[in-house]
Amino acid sequence: MALGARDQIAMWEQVLRLCRLRVGEAVVLLVGPDSLPENARAAGDAVLAVGARLARLELGQGAPPKAVASERTAYFGPTALTGNLPAVAAMKSADLVIDLMGIDRGTEQQEILDSGTRILLVKEPPEVLARLVPTEDDRRRVLAAATVLGQAREMHVTSAAGTDLRVRLGQYSVLTEYGLADEPGRWDHWPSGFLATWPNEGSAQGTVVIDSGDIILPFKDYVRSPIRLTVAGGYIRAIDGGFDADFLSEYMASFADPEGYAVSHLGWGLQDRALWTALRLYDKRQTNAMDARSFLGNFMFSTGPNLEGGGSRSTPCHLDIPMRRCSLALDGVPMTIAGRVVPADQQARTAA
């Protein structure tokens, strides 16, 4: 159901206030060729309604992505910000950047964040944004889980399908996404609701079985036949199965980069309003697949770079694979059991 302009502005204003946008603060609205015009209009009107100062910055796509079909959710590499000193300077001078384009994962973005600017990435259609407007409770649950994850030294993931993966933790930072850029230097993504960290180098060992119904991004599609990954020394060493396994193997091999097989960030979803089924209801170009990344109880297995966590591994080959029905334990304490979130402080509060 399409949202009216007034409703869109209202939800944007709600999110901006939760991002602690204040009267008189400076906002840069970053747009590009693929930004949704309705999001740009609603965001700009909401910034003015809050009483902040607005500047619109429009950039081209920059360096052509290496990803097939220009699927930018899989792309790590130069962006329109690379070497664009005036654009970087403009964003460093802002209190908040609303990124409707998706210029992330680069050194320029980190430079902007280090200046104290906060960045909110928004790429989903308005109806998805409306269903997944972030709340203070979303923030509470993600940060409660992050406290546990940040103290853990081992993650063990199992499933009835055959997953049995162990990794050591502590070398890298914890990533939290709850949909609000509410602190100086914070980057977040509306909508979201998950957390993750990167395994210690070389520590990932075991088997990961991507089962029927799990999702592979950037393919933005559901797996139909099981894929068995053999993991040793922190890297995927073998990919076995039927058609889906062959497809995945050929795709990863096309990058000709061994670092693309490294185990990257691992975590779980905490957004009870995100839908596992949503991905099939949208054209692939309409969505950034945040429902898939965030749905409650998923185990997120990913491959490739670890720059965001503080590592040095950079590769254009990156996969996010939200998996269902997995059990994830930290130092032997369950966080999810067969896809069901266990700790009470990670569960949504219900109205009295």
**Angstrom distance (rounded) from CA 176 to CA 12:** 21
Would you list the DSSP string of 13-78?
A: HHHHHHTT--TT-EEEEEE-TTS-HHHHHHHHHHHHHHT-EEEEEE----SPPSSGGG-GGG--S-
pLDDT of res. 352: 38
**Angstrom distance (rounded) from CA 289 to CA 296:** 14
Q: What are phi and psi of 207, to 5 degrees?
A: -130, 140
**Angstrom distance (rounded) from CA 113 to CA 136:** 22
Question: What are the extents of the domains in the chain?
Answer: 5-123, 136-346
- Per-residue pLDDT, averaged over 318-326, amounts to 97
**Angstrom distance (rounded) from CA 301 to CA 228:** 13
Cis, peptide link before residue 191, omega less than 30° from 0: yes
Q: Which CATH number is associated with domain 5-123?
A: 3.40.50.2300
Give the list of residues 6+ apart from residue 341 with CB closer than 8 angstroms, or none: 268, 270, 296, 297, 335, 347
Answer whether residue 272 shows pLDDT above 50: yes
Across all residues in the chain, what is the average pLDDT?
A: 93
**Angstrom distance (rounded) from CA 7 to CA 127:** 10
The fraction of the chain above a pLDDT of 90, given in percent, is 84
> Does residue 69 come out as left (phi exceeding 0), alpha (psi in the -120 to 50 range) or beta?
left
Answer whether residue 1 shows pLDDT above 60: no
- Global pTM? 0.94
**Angstrom distance (rounded) from CA 22 to CA 99:** 18
Digit-coded pLDDT (tens) for 338-349: 999 999 899 888
The fraction of the chain above a pLDDT of 70, given in percent, is 93
Digit-coded pLDDT (tens) for 182-223: 999 999 999 999 999 999 999 999 999 999 999 999 999 999
Measured in whole angstroms, the distance separating CA 72 from the mean position of its chain's CA atoms is 13
- Give the residues across from 337 on adjacent strands: 340
Digit-coded pLDDT (tens) for 110-163: 899 999 999 999 999 999 999 999 999 999 999 999 999 999 999 999 999 999
21 closest CA partner among 61, 57, 51: 51
- Per-residue pLDDT, averaged over 316-330, amounts to 97
